[in-house]
Structure 1
Amino acid sequence: MARGVLWLGLVLLATLQVQVSSRSRIPAPALDTIPLQADFQDKQFQGRWYVIAIAGNSINKRRQGPVKMYSSTYRLLDNTTFSVTSLLVRNGLCDRLTRTFVQSSTPGQFTLGNINRYKGIQNYTVRVVSSSYDEFAILFFKKVFKNREYFKMTLYGRSKMVPDDLKGYFVLFVKSLGLTDNNILFFVPTGQCIDDD
């Protein structure tokens, strides 16, 4: 009898551990712990950025494998809103995704415009962590989707290549947020689609 109860307890414990590990996700950091670009210059930030790397709590490099680079072009609509058009290759075809980022009361921090268009998204925040404006930018994205928090960091470059020390800094920074090498993707440069206007 005691052995049966012990086995039952071990089975329940193993089941609980499997459920926890399958649902575990690196928690999103609090927004106020993420640096913000001082004296953000929206006019200098606009233009085309190539996505060099991303890292996030829903990214699994082992499952995703090599991914082609994409670009995002920021166009200032007024002093507080960017239209952001991303060009990417999906299933061998060019795809275009356009969103609106509306500046919050904090320069360099944005929310997703027309959020009701995006089913299941309850909150979406974008924060410019750091930018030289002419070479690189690092952005933090945090969304709440169906009551679950997701976050990602993006390394942008004005060209398809950035210096290795910037890549190294990006890796150190995202690891300081609890992410691992498996949560970091560096993109393969491509000439397909991403240079179109």
Structure 2
Amino acid sequence: MAALRMLWTGLVLLGLLGFLQTPAQGHESVHPNFQQDKFLGRWYSAGLASNSSWFREKKAVISMCKTVIAPSTDGGLNLTSTFLRKNQCETKIMLLQPIGLPGHYKYNSPHWGSVHTILVMETNYNEYALLFSRGTKGPGQDFRMATLYSRSATPKDKLKKKFISFSKSMGLTEEDIVFLPQPDKCIQE
């Protein structure tokens, strides 16, 4: 009986370790045959959905940002985002490091002290991209975020519907979803 309990415990732990090492498996598969070079260029963050407490507190005041994606020297991506904050244009640069398969990235946030796994779940490269990220800010503070990137600052309604469906499939709720308004400056097309 003790051997059976140890075997069961070992299998459960292996399953947990496998989940932690590959946080996005199963229904969370990345875009097939993802081509990073086609993903480069200018995108607009048209929609966000998250279960994080920070996002829920700030979602009413967040606006769209423009992000330029370029290759990094390590095979990953440099994301340079320009956004409006306190009536000023600010720029933030993020380095996404490749992990595993194409379309899988990791980002270490120096500001929050958190680690994010970011996946390009679906894209047609010339119109939209759906990204999903998971992270941990501290013990017991796991969060999920879905992002709708659009090549245009005014995404079509069909993309918004697709994003709502995608966000819900990732375990987020209608209350977690926001479509970001365009600010008067900082993101000119």
TM-score range, shorter chain: 0.7 to 0.9
User: 1:51: Cα distance to partner?
Assistant: 0.6
* Inter-partner Cα distance in structure 2 for 1:180 and 1:105: 29
- 1:138 equivalent in alignment to 2:130: yes
Instruction: Name the TM-score, length of structure 2 as normaliser.
Output: 0.78
* Inter-partner Cα distance in structure 2 for 1:75 and 1:98: 11
Is the CA contact (8 Å cut-off) linking 2:72 and 2:95 kept in structure 1?
A: no
Is the CA contact (8 Å cut-off) linking 1:47 and 1:73 kept in structure 2?
A: yes
* Inter-partner Cα distance in structure 1 for 2:109 and 2:32: 30
Q: Alignment identity in percent?
A: 27
Classify the secondary structure of the residue corresponding to 1:171: helix
* Inter-partner Cα distance in structure 1 for 2:112 and 2:56: 24
Classify the secondary structure of the residue corresponding to 2:94: strand
Which runs of 5 or more residues in structure 2 are unaligned?
1-22
Instruction: Name the TM-score, length of structure 1 as normaliser.
Output: 0.76
Classify the secondary structure of the residue corresponding to 2:25: helix
* Inter-partner Cα distance in structure 1 for 2:29 and 2:75: 20
The one of 73, 80, 98 aligned to 1:103:
98
Structure 1 vs Structure 2 CA RMSD: 2.0
Which runs of 5 or more residues in structure 1 are unaligned?
1-29
The one of 36, 45, 58 aligned to 2:39:
45
Is the CA contact (8 Å cut-off) linking 1:66 and 1:188 kept in structure 2?
A: no
- 1:60 equivalent in alignment to 2:43: no
- 1:170 equivalent in alignment to 2:166: no
> 1:81 maps to what in 2?
76
* Inter-partner Cα distance in structure 2 for 1:181 and 1:195: 29
Classify the secondary structure of the residue corresponding to 1:172: helix
User: 1:118: Cα distance to partner?
Assistant: 4.3
- Give the partner amino acid of 2:66: S
Q: Which has the larger radius of gyration?
A: 1
Q: 1:132 to 1:79 in 2, by over 3 A?
A: farther
Q: 1:88 to 1:116 in 2, by over 3 A?
A: closer
* Inter-partner Cα distance in structure 2 for 1:89 and 1:161: 17
